[in-house]
């Protein structure tokens, strides 16, 4: 009997160390890859040290969070490079053991990272991405939420690929003249949801039409791919809070966008083609409870609510926010969700251990 007890004791210790050591060094801290030689780019390295283990290397990076975004860990020598940015790696590189260099991205400072660590309250968070600080508002709904992007984050022009990874939907928040806020989850029209993702750009409009108000910086949210938006006679539009707002494109003009302007210049183009379709996301918006309100400010270059230009078609509609009075501004929230691995009960504790202790 006592032998059996000892066996389980030893087993428990093994399991614990397995979780702490093996899992710590894996994706808990960030995405980790063995990278191919071609991907290694030393021009992002700002510092090197002898760390001995990937975990120590990651922790050295964490302690310099404002400048360090990723690391290279050279397995043979134990050398660790602290990087100010990220490189493009493909998932398949995990299997490619052509180098003994591991690459780990440390990007857990945003809303998703906080959720992962079990810190669930909604609120404003500033963290580092590519050496630049980014401010977002985390709106948490249990196991997922939305990172509302501050005007400051758009103005810093740091790529938002990490914040806006999830491309099946986007949350728009409207500020009404009385100060109340409403929200709409925007997706593709039902018929396109399985086929096309949304696209997000900063100061670019790849293949789409350029903003009529050429004011920078801006966040560009595109619906149908431009190849499709070009086709006359197709059904186009968007879905807001489960309702399709559609139209048939009359001229193949590839406008299928929402643009949010983060700067403080005034619009110099004023146009409105007010339709049910172009208003759908506003009329379908659901009231938000005051405890989830995004901070508002009347400094035009701060906060979250922005002037916007919404343009669809063809015959969809065109709305510039300076031409309407029922909405003052709109904010953009990108969805984030907990990783499946973090659904484990003790994950937040292990995650903290990983960050705080020296496991090796
Ligand atoms: C290496 O990184 C620098 C700085 O981010 C970038 O300008 C350059 O294009 C990268 N080179 C390659 C081959 O990816
Ligand atoms: C849409 O993006 C998700 C990631 O958010 C990806 O897994 C999926 O394959 C993409 N779907 C299409 C149709 O491109
Ligand atoms: C929009 O969709 C509805 C139902 O899905 C359809 O009845 C209607 O004709 C569509 N409108 C346009 C303008 O295509
Ligand atoms: C609007 O203003 C921008 C600069 O703020 C300028 O480049 C552009 O030419 C102006 N457009 C018109 C139509 O006045
Ligand atoms: C800013 O907004 C507050 C409340 O919304 C208002 O009382 C105040 O007058 C505004 N200040 C300016 C300078 O517009
Ligand atoms: C545009 O249409 C919406 C919804 O029908 C309406 O509430 C709004 O007052 C209209 N705006 C203008 C300027 O006509």
Which residue ranges make up each domain of the chain? 2-106, 111-337
**CA 223-334-338 angle, 5° bins:** 125
C-alpha span between 24 and 353 (Å, rounded): 9
Residue carrying structure tokens 């009231």: 287
Task: Among 235, 240, 247, 317, name the best residue to mutate to test ligand 3's pocket (greatest count of ligand atoms within 8 A of Cβ).
Answer: 235
The token duo for 240 is: 């807001």
Question: Which ligand ends up closest to the CA of 265?
Answer: 4
Task: Report the CATH superfamily, name and number, of domain 2-106.
Answer: Hepatocyte Growth Factor (3.50.4.10)
Residues with CB under 6 A from ligand 3: 235, 244, 246-248
Among residues 172, 154, 159, the alpha carbon closest in space to that of 217 is found at: 154
Residue nearest to atom 5 of ligand 4 (CA): 215
Decide if 37 contacts 99 (C-beta within 8 A): yes
DSSP per-residue codes, 71-125: EEEETTTTEEEEESS-----GGGGT--SSSEEEEE--TTSHHHHHHTT----EEE
C-alpha span between 130 and 105 (Å, rounded): 10
From first to last of its 360 residues, the chain has per-residue pLDDT tens of 678 888 888 888 777 766 655 555 444 456 677 787 778 889 999 999 999 988 889 888 888 867 788 899 998 999 999 998 888 776 555 555 556 888 888 766 688 877 776 666 888 888 777 667 789 999 999 889 999 999 999 998 877 877 898 999 999 999 999 999 999 999 999 999 999 999 999 999 988 888 999 899 999 999 998 888 888 889 999 999 999 999 998 887 889 999 999 998 889 999 999 999 999 999 999 999 999 999 998 787 789 999 999 999 888 999 999 999 999 999 999 999 876 554 444 555 555 555 555 443
Model pLDDT, residue 277? 97
Alpha carbon 59 to its chain's center: 23
Alpha carbon 195 to its chain's center: 21
Question: Which ligand ends up closest to the CA of 267?
Answer: 4
Distance 273 CA to ligand 6 centre (A): 10
DSSP per-residue codes, 30-48: S-EEE--GGG--GGGEEEE
Long-range contacts of 272-277 (CB under 8 A, 24+ apart): 272/318, 272/319, 272/320, 272/323, 272/324, 273/317, 273/318, 273/319, 274/317, 274/319, 274/324, 275/247, 275/316, 275/317, 276/245, 277/237, 277/245, 277/246, 277/247, 277/312, 277/316, 277/317
Decide if 134 contacts 289 (C-beta within 8 A): no
Beta bridge partners of 98: none
Distance 214 CA to ligand 4 centre (A): 6
Distance 139 CA to ligand 6 centre (A): 29
Among residues 247, 309, 300, the alpha carbon closest in space to that of 277 is found at: 247
Model pLDDT, residue 27? 43
Task: Among 182, 324, 325, 328, name the best residue to mutate to test ligand 6's pocket (greatest count of ligand atoms within 8 A of Cβ).
Answer: 324
Q: Which runs of consecutive H residues, i.e. helices, occur in the chain?
A: 2-17, 24, 54-62, 111-116, 151-155, 226-229, 276-283, 347-356
pTM (predicted TM-score): 0.78
For the CA of 265, the closest atom of ligand 4 is: 5
Residue nearest to atom 8 of ligand 4 (CA): 214
Q: Is the CB of 279 under 6 A from ligand 6?
A: yes
Question: Which ligand ends up closest to the CA of 178?
Answer: 5
For the CA of 190, the closest atom of ligand 3 is: 5
Distance 295 CA to ligand 5 centre (A): 13
Model pLDDT, residue 248? 93
Decide if 279 contacts 341 (C-beta within 8 A): no
Task: Among 188, 224, 246, name the best residue to mutate to test ligand 3's pocket (greatest count of ligand atoms within 8 A of Cβ).
Answer: 246
Residue nearest to atom 12 of ligand 1 (CA): 41
Do the bridges between strand 308-312 and strand 32-34 make them parallel or antiparallel, or are there none, so unpaired?
unpaired
For the CA of 324, the closest atom of ligand 6 is: 13
Model pLDDT, residue 214? 87
Residue nearest to atom 7 of ligand 6 (CA): 326
Model pLDDT, residue 51? 93
Neighbours of 138 (CB within 10 A): 23
Among residues 289, 291, 290, the alpha carbon closest in space to that of 121 is found at: 291
């Amino acid at each position: 009997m006592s032998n059996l007890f000892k066996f389980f004791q030893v087993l428990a210790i093994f399991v614990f160390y397995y979780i702490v050591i093996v899992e710590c060094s894996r994706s808990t801290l960030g995405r980790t890859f063995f990278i191919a030689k071609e991907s290694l780019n030393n021009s992002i390295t700002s510092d090197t040290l002898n760390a001995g283990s990937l975990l120590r290397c990651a922790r050295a990076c964490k302690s310099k969070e404002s400048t360090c975004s990723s690391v290279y860990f050279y397995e043979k020598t134990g050398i660790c490079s602290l990087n100010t940015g990220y490189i493009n790696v493909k998932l398949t590189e995990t299997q490619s053991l052509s180098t003994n260099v591991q690459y780990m991205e440390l990007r857990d400072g945003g809303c998703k990272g906080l959720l992962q660590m079990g810190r669930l309250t909604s609120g404003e968070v500033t963290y580092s991405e590519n050496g630049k600080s980014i401010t977002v508002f985390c709106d948490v709904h249990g196991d997922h939420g939305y990172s509302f992007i501050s005007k400051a984050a758009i103005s810093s022009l740091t790529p938002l690929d990490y914040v806006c990874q999830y491309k099946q939907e986007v949350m728009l928040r409207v500020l009404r003249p009385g100060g109340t806020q409403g929200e709409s989850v925007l997706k593709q029209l039902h018929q396109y949801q399985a086929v096309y993702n949304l696209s997000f750009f900063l100061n670019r409009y790849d293949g789409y039409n350029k903003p009529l108000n050429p004011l920078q910086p801006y966040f560009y949210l595109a619906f149908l791919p431009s190849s499709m938006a070009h086709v006359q006679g197709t059904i186009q539009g968007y879905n807001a809070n489960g309702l399709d707002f559609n139209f048939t494109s009359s001229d193949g003009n590839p406008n299928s966008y929402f643009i949010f302007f983060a700067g403080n210049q005034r619009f110099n183009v004023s146009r409105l083609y007010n339709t049910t379709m172009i208003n759908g996301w506003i009329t379908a918006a659901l009231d938000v409870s005051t405890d989830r309100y995004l901070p508002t400010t009347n400094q035009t270059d701060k906060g979250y609510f922005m002037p916007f230009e919404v343009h669809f078609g063809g015959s969809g509609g065109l709305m510039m926010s300076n031409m309407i009075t029922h909405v003052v501004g709109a904010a953009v929230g990108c969805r984030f969700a907990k990783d499946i691995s973090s659904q484990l009960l003790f994950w937040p504790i292990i995650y903290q251990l990983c960050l705080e202790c020296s496991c090796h």
